Chains A and B, each alone.
Chain A
Amino acid sequence: MAPILGIMASQVTGHLWAPTGAYDSIATTTVGAGGASSVDFTSIPSTYTHLQVRYLARGSFSGNEIQIRMRLNSDTGNNYARHLLEGDGSTAAAYATASGSLMALGSIPAATGTASAFGAGVVDILDYANTSKYKTSRTLSGQDRNGAGTIDLASSLWMNTNAVTTVSVFPDSGNFSQYSIVALYGIKGA
């Protein structure tokens, strides 16, 4: 077993690193033939320090690509802010939204995008169980369609101090297509 990178550095004050269970798979959803409008992870235990969502996904939206979003604890209020730095193959651009109703992760290929191309993302939700802080996510995501696509570095804020117990990931319009996979992992502190 190997530690995730960075955890070894936390041993300097005498902690003995325990290799078992430092990075755990909490739940995984693979979308079936009917598609899914959202992947929801509920009843997330508070026993980890950080959460990580990893996905490979495609949407049914009738376009080349569709944005992928996230909400926490089913909060649909205007309690989120988001920033993205995005490259589209020719230009780098930055976007921001204050007081929005969702978090931004990036984009995934959609119905008319290159066949069998899926977008990928790695989303970190840091200190998710803390009840004193607003929650921040950071995302590396991208989708390349051989001649089109986007690459994103995204950060979103949920202006709420509640512990995160539910994570919902969904396309901005339409469904996730079959074979999309979204997985939730827990990362423990020493």
Chain B
Amino acid sequence: MANTYVAIATQTLGSAAASVTFSSIPSTYTDLVLVANGRTDWTTNIYEALYCQLNSDTGTNYSVTALMGDGSAASSYRQSSQNQMEITRFNNSFSSNTAFGTSIIHFQNYANTTTNKTALGRTNNTPNGYYNVGATVGLWRSTSAISTIKLYPALGTNFVTGSTFNLYGIASA
């Protein structure tokens, strides 16, 4: 049996960047896994999120359902008919935070052209003095195969230097 968990592309930011895009994603895998370890330059408050757009679609074709724990309570929220998918929370630079947060995003059966696309996100982020753990499911109402993934901060202007983004492909038998 072949090794089926393959690194497709890696981006390590040598300077601040407003977004990270993986394009020309081959359709030869079954699932995609995107691992982000980073932080944005947002300093205003503790909240930050990772926005995702697929295939450069800026229409209101995205929705999410999320589950979050913030150290004192668990909560759930929903966003419908959005221009982007808020797929996970993310670290920011509030209160001089220098820690990087981790998000792992699964895109199941991303290359099929029959079903809408569902993504699962997991986040562990630690803005200074504030902790957040959560899970999100996102829907992109499109049957197109995913060939481009764009990530960008919900609130900040840039991802900070040193943020890393790794895209993996999983091929099934």
CB–CB A150/B3 < 8 A? no
* Cα–Cα, bound, A53→B109 (Å): 13
Query: A54 at interface (Cβ–Cβ under 8 A)?
Result: yes
Assess the A118–B115 pair: CB atoms within 8 A. yes
Q: List 23 A-B contacts (CB under 8 A).
A: A21-B2, A21-B3, A23-B3, A54-B31, A56-B108, A56-B115, A87-B74, A90-B78, A117-B118, A118-B108, A118-B118, A119-B118, A120-B108, A120-B118, A143-B137, A144-B63, A144-B64, A144-B137, A145-B139, A151-B66, A151-B137, A153-B135, A179-B114
Extra contacts besides A22-B3, A24-B2, A147-B63 (6): CB < 8 Å: A25-B170, A92-B74, A116-B116, A116-B143, A121-B120, A144-B118
SS class, residues of chain A in contact with chain B: strand
What residues of A have a CB within 8 angstroms of the CB of B115 in the complex?
56, 58, 116-118, 179
Contact A92 B108, beta carbon cutoff 8 Å: no
- B65 within 8 Å of A by Cβ? yes
In contact, A147 and B78 (Cβ under 8 angstroms): yes
Nearest to B60 among chain A residues (CB) is A146
B120: A residues at CB distance < 8 A? 120-122, 140-142
Tell me if A5 counts as interface (CB < 8 A to partner B): yes
Q: Is the CB of B30 within 8 A of A183?
A: yes
Assuming the A-B contacts A5-B35, A146-B80, are A140 and B65 also in contact, with contact meaning beta carbons closer than 8 angstroms in the complex? no
Instruction: Check A2 against B67 for contact (C-beta < 8 Å).
Output: no
B61-87 Cβ-contact flags toward A at 8 Å (1 or 0): 001111111000111111011000000
Are B65 and A24 neighbours in the complex by a CB distance under 8 Å? Answer: no
**Interface hub of B7, B30, B112 (most chain A Cβ within 10 A):** B30
How distant is the Cα of A87 from the Cα of B67 in the complex, in angstroms? 5
Cα of A22 to Cα of B172 in the assembled complex, Å = 14
One of B35, B73, B108, B173 near A26 (C-beta < 8 A): B173
B139 close to A146 (CB less than 8 A): yes
* Total A-B contacts with CB atoms under 8 angstroms apart: 179
Assembled-state Cα–Cα distance A86/B67 (Å): 7
Q: Kindly state the interface size class of chain B when it binds its partner.
A: 35 or more
Q: B112-138: contact bitstring with A at CB < 8 Å (1 yes, 0 no)?
A: 101110111010000000000001111
Q: A86-B67, A120-B120 are in contact. Are A28 and B172 (CB under 8 A)?
A: yes
How does the 8 Å CB contact mask read for A149-190 relative to B, with 1 for contact and 0 for none? 111110000000000000000000000000101010110000
Asked if A20 and B118 make an inter-chain contact with CB atoms under 8 angstroms apart, the answer reads no
B168 at the interface (CB under 8 A from A): yes
Q: Assess the B2–A151 pair: CB atoms within 8 A.
A: no
Max chain B Cβ within 10 angstroms of own Cβ: one of A3, A24, A183: A183
* CB interface residues, A 110-150, toward B, < 8 Å: 114, 116-122, 140-147, 149-150
CA distance A1 to B68 in the complex (A): 34
Cross-interface CB contact of B65 among A2, A21, A54, A88, cutoff 8 Å: A88
Contact yes or no, A146 B3, CB < 8 A: no
Q: Which 3 A-B pairs have the closest CB atoms?
A: A142-B137, A87-B76, A87-B67
